[in-house]
Amino acid sequence: MKNHRSDILFFFGVALTIWLAWVVRDVLLLIYVSALFAVVLSPAIGLIQKIHIRRWSPGRGFAILALILGLVLLGTLFVFFALPNIYNDAREFSSEWPKRLVSLTAEIRKLGIKVDASELEKYAGEIAGGAGGLFLNLAGGIFGLFTGIILTAYFIIDGDRAFHWSVSLFPLNQQPRLMAALLRAERRMRNWLLGQSMLMASLGLASLAVYYALGLRYFYVLAIYAGIANIVPIAGTISAVVISSTVAALDSPQKVLGVIVFHALYAQFENAFLWPRVMRTTLKLSPLAVIIALTLGGAIAGVLGALVSVPTAALVTVLANEYLVERKSVDDREPAYRERVELTR
């Protein structure tokens, strides 16, 4: 009876823990994302600490502060130089919206596409009416961003202690094996940032050249945004296409078509050639594993889930290889399997 009572209490304790985790899932996701970025940004902190000026070298706290201030400085420069021009042109666009709508509708009809101007006005009104909600969501996103930055800084400062405390929760005989597996996963997760940076730089430079050739307004800002947004797979690229097409629509439908064609061709190049090779080289993940991770991450947690899905897949792969996969020598496997291995070499 005593054992049954403890089992029942344990069951209800686990159920209560799962329920609480589901209730605060957004907070847990933010904590996980912050811990993940603390892992991948630690090498940058280490590089700053290696700077020596005579006998002085920066400490860990100073390195974190310098990195955060550098990111804030970049954001401030963007706001100071880019936003005033965007705001002025946005006001001009809103005042000339009826004329531009008529001309845009006429151009689209020339292409043989039937468009109802009243429907476009209705959609425009709905977009304008939802601006308040958009700014509320933006304010919530900014608050979450700063919270994530603070959590990331604390994880970088106190990450080693948290790591060893987490490992200490497991049996003593399992701790060395688990620690070695987690350190291997940490190296692969850091490689994710390297590979993703390569993909971001590639799209940003290609967008800069094409937007400049098309004569888009704020081509440099749009190119920077396209490169940064590429850190979020699929959703980031879609948002870059929408924003660039909207800016291109201020001038002509031909520029809109140019933007769409460019992103369609680049997406084919990136998905078929660049992305699989970068991910295979840096993370050692197959394209199938990456696609499955993106799908699951997006379905579970939306944009944030898609953002952290690939490095999480690297972590899960390392742990699965360590604890779940049973390996045999090629000589002990079935003859058909050995023949298949020989054919694929």
Q: Minimal CA–CA distance to 244: which of 264, 221, 228, 266?
A: 221
Residue 262 is predicted with a pLDDT of: 93
Write down the pTM of the prediction.
0.66
Residue 102, CA distances (Å) to 46, 107, 166, 246 in order: 57, 9, 63, 16
d(CA 315, CA 238): 27
200-243 tens-digit pLDDT: 889 999 999 999 999 887 788 888 888 888 887 777 788 888 88
**What is the percent of the chain with per-residue pLDDT over 70, rounded to a whole number?**
73
The pair of structure tokens assigned to 123 is 């959609």
Mean predicted confidence (pLDDT) in 130-148: 54
User: Does position 298 have pLDDT exceeding 70, yes or no?
Assistant: yes
d(CA 90, CA 98): 14
Beta strands in the chain (DSSP E): none
d(CA 256, CA 242): 10
d(CA 253, CA 251): 7
42-62 tens-digit pLDDT: 777 777 777 777 777 777 777
Residue 110 is predicted with a pLDDT of: 65
Residue 292 is predicted with a pLDDT of: 83
57-87 tens-digit pLDDT: 777 777 777 777 877 787 677 667 666 666 6
d(CA 281, CA 283): 6
Residue 89 is predicted with a pLDDT of: 63
Backbone angles phi, psi at 40, to 5 degrees: -80, -20
User: pLDDT band at residue 261, thresholds of 50, 70 and 90?
Assistant: very high
The pair of structure tokens assigned to 113 is 């596409």
279-293 tens-digit pLDDT: 777 777 777 787 788
Residue 101 is predicted with a pLDDT of: 62
Most confident of 151-155, 235-239, 285-289, 318-322: 318-322
CA 74, 75, 78, 83: dihedral to nearest 10 degrees?
Answer: -170
Residue 284 is predicted with a pLDDT of: 77
Which residue in the block uniquely carries the two structure tokens 């680049």?
266
Residue 37 or 15, more confident: 15
Dihedral of alpha carbons 145, 146, 152, 156, sign: positive
Under 8 Å CB-to-CB from 255, ≥6 apart: which residues?
214, 215, 216, 248, 249
Q: Minimal CA–CA distance to 203: which of 265, 246, 258?
A: 265
Residue 115, CA distances (Å) to 26, 77, 343 in order: 41, 41, 56
User: Does position 153 have pLDDT exceeding 90, yes or no?
Assistant: no
- Number of Cα atoms under 13 Å in the Cβ half of residue 330: 5
